[in-house]
Structure 1
Amino acid sequence: MSPTPSDLSGTASLGSYLESWAPVSVRDEDPLHAGPVAALSAVFDLPYSAAEAGDPIPPMWHWLHFLNWPAHGELGVDGHPMNGHFLPPIPNRQRMWAGGRCEITEPLRLGEPAERISSLSSVTSKHGRTGELLFVTERREFRQSGRTCLVEEQDIVYRSGRSAAQHPGELDESALPQTDSLWQLPLRPDPALLFRFSALTANAHRIHYDAPYCRNDEGYPGLVVHGPLLVLLMLELPRRHAPGKQVRSLSYRLRRPVFAGERISACGTPTGSGAQLSIATHQEAQYATAEVTFG
């Protein structure tokens, strides 16, 4: 029998909570309307024309679709659902998006119904500086007209217990990132941008909009910029500087949190078959990293 939250004494292994946890695959459908793509273009101030049916969806912009809106009463204190199909049944979860990978055979297209098959790929327990961590990898396969268009894996890290983490104590809002990368795209994400991105991705995690919660409950100095937002910002570099090339594969890693008000820059260096990408601030050159290959 697996422990219950009341059994947690600080010595129980996180793996012991998963003895009977074996979620089956889930199939979802989405019509892939053009509205979310047009909305995110406005959020990013992109100079692109209105999206129309039949247009290819930019790499990873499918995160705007297949959204889950649980009832408000089903949310936990952090804004995430208390229970979910692929949420591990460990007590008082703290959640971090660590990275992922994606293989794109062909882009999804707007206005064409699509299906997503989600499954649990792996669960691994590791010990880090803050204690035991649970790495959960979810696999998602996207199909249109009977064809598999892309396969994605997301790595999510969970920690039990709600102690404040150790994070930088203040933000330097004036310094600019120092980089000599060939491709560069600066951004200074503010609370309004984070709010709009949360709305477009159905993300109710309070670290993105509730500053007192960030400081008092999670130990952050300010609002945290979404990991997926950083990934999409990095992917804007090949979209703008290599528009004739199609991204066929992507791997990314989110190394440290970025906070609202910080001046950041997406940086990229083209290689023979793709590009090396990163998010830089004045403090560090690689807050997030990514590697893409072209078809």
Structure 2
Amino acid sequence: MEPEEQSAKTSGAAPLSSYVESWTPGPVTDEDPLPLGPVAALSAVLDLPGTVAKNGDPLPPLWHWLYFLNWPTQGKLGPDGHPRDGHFLPPIPQRQRMWAGGRCEIREPLRLGEPAERVSSLGALTAKQGRTGELLFVTERREFRQRGRVCLVEEQDSVYRSGRSAGQHPGVLDELALPDTDAPWQLPVHPDPALLFRFSALTANAHRIHYDAPYCRDEEGYPGLLVHGPLLALLMLELPRRRAPDRRVRALSYRLHKPVFGGEHLAACGTPAGEGAELRVATHREERHATAEVTFG
């Protein structure tokens, strides 16, 4: 979602940059054997039950988000289900986090069933003044390695603010309306609560905005459950995987603009463009809830 379109309650508060002046978390290394189970599970969630993965198969773009998961103890979660503390979570009081976007360079696909290593580090830390308050942009950089080679380099951008925000969202959702699009590549999806719950479980995401509707309405001010930003990105990347299966994605970038809510009909839309493709997520309310660009190699 666009953080600048949120109104922050930060008047009189200390600048966000003051909380992170000496915050320099070092790199962290994690390992994962990349088993077959998560791929089979996400295939089922995306209605691809005929997809049979085997050891040595390449991971589709962004499906590495199913691995290297962090499961903090229950006592380390905040009231919203998000971890209170974490190595790359900035020490901002009452922080609110929004996933803004990211980039990924795929030098060679990660292979299932082969041990992989991920090295995470702080890439950039920038405080900016938005239209309605101060924002802290945090970029986390990750390198994924197999057999001693760097296979994938990823950057994820998050936006933090202090205190709760009051966003402008629809008061009532029209769950019957369909997106109006003539894009050459289309993937219609109806993200109901069961789909959102299963995706939360697959990605170790305990944030209540994805499964607790009363919390969404009463505490966060949303009209309903929120569709995960990573799920929107994955749906966009399904388009070249299904419609151009002989072309390998070498690089991609994505950005999240406006939230999609559970129960709404959405469509991942794509248009081939030269050596790549332009992708987006649309509903009847918005043409571009999320956008992405891919480059084929």
1:276 aligns with 2:268: no
The gaps in structure 2 that reach 5 residues or longer are 1-9
Shift of 1:169: 1.3
**Residue 242 of structure 1, aligned match among 241, 244, 268:** 244
Aligned match of 2:3: none
CA offsets 1:96-125 (integer angstroms, 9 cap, x no match): 100000000000000000000000000111
Residue 74 of structure 1 aligns with which residue? Answer: 76
| TM-score calculated relative to the size of structure 1 | 0.95
The 10-residue stretch of structure 1 (264-273 or 46-55) with the greater mean CA deviation from structure 2: 46-55
Q: In the alignment, what sits opposite 2:106?
A: 104
CA contact (8 A) 2:224 2:261 kept: yes
Amino acid at match of 1:224: L
Matched, 1:170 2:172: yes
* Contact 1:208-1:225 within 8 A present in 2 as well: yes
1:285 lines up with 2:292 in the alignment: no
1:163 Cα offset (Å): 4.1
Change (3 A) 1:172 1:15: same
Q: Distance in 2 between matches of 1:55 and 1:196?
A: 24
- Per mean C-alpha deviation after superposition, the further-off stretch among 157-166 and 139-148 is 157-166
Does residue 1:201 correspond to 2:242, yes or no?
Answer: no
* TM-score between the two structures when normalised by the length of structure 2: 0.95
Instruction: Tell me the residue number matched to 1:185.
Output: 187
Deviates more, 1:80-89 or 1:46-55: 46-55
Question: Which digits, 9 at most, give the CA deviation of each residue in 1:28-67, with x for residues without a partner?
Answer: 0000001000000000001543211111000000000000
Aligned Cα RMSD in Å?
1.1
Q: For each residue in 1:222-279, what CA deviation from the matched residue of structure 2 results, as whole angstroms up to 9, or x when unmatched?
A: 0000000000100110011100000000000000100001110000000110100000
Alignment partner, residue 120 of structure 1: 122
Deviation at 1:131, TM superposition (A): 1.5
3-state SS in 2 of match to 1:111: coil
Which AA in structure 1 matches 2:85?
N
Q: CA 1:133–1:124 in 2, change beyond 3 Å: closer, same or farther?
A: same
Question: Number of residues paired by the alignment?
Answer: 288
Q: Kindly indicate whether structure 1 or structure 2 has the higher relative contact order, using CA contacts under 8 Å at least 6 residues apart.
A: 2
Q: Tell me the residue number matched to 1:4.
A: none
Q: Deviations over 1:194-233 (max 9, x none)?
A: 0000000000011001111111111111000000000010
Q: Which runs of no fewer than 5 residues in structure 1 stay unpaired?
A: 1-7
User: Which letter maps to 1:247?
Assistant: V
Letter in 1 for 2:37: G
Give the Cα–Cα distance (whole angstroms) in 2 for the partners of residues 80 and 161 of structure 1: 14
Q: How does 1:56-75 map onto structure 2 within 5 Å?
A: 56-75=58-77
For the residues of structure 1 that align with 2:267 and 2:61, how far apart are their CA atoms? 19
Contact kept, 8 Å, 1:162 with 1:217, in 2: the verdict is no
Q: In the alignment, what sits opposite 1:217?
A: 219
Aligned to 2:7: none
Which one is further off, 170-179 or 283-292?
170-179
Gap change, CA 1:235 and 1:163, over 3 Å in 2: closer
Aligned sequence identity (%) = 76
Output the CA distance in 1 between the equivalents of 2:167 and 2:93: 17
| Mapped contact 2:116–2:145 kept (Cα < 8 A) | yes
List structure 1 runs of 4+ shifted beyond 6 angstroms.
none
Is the contact between residue 183 and residue 268 of structure 1 (CA under 8 Å) also seen in structure 2?
A: yes
Tell me by how many angstroms 1:20 deviates: 1.6
Distance 1:9 1:288 in 2: 30
- Whether the 8 Å contact between 1:166 and 1:219 is mirrored in structure 2 is no
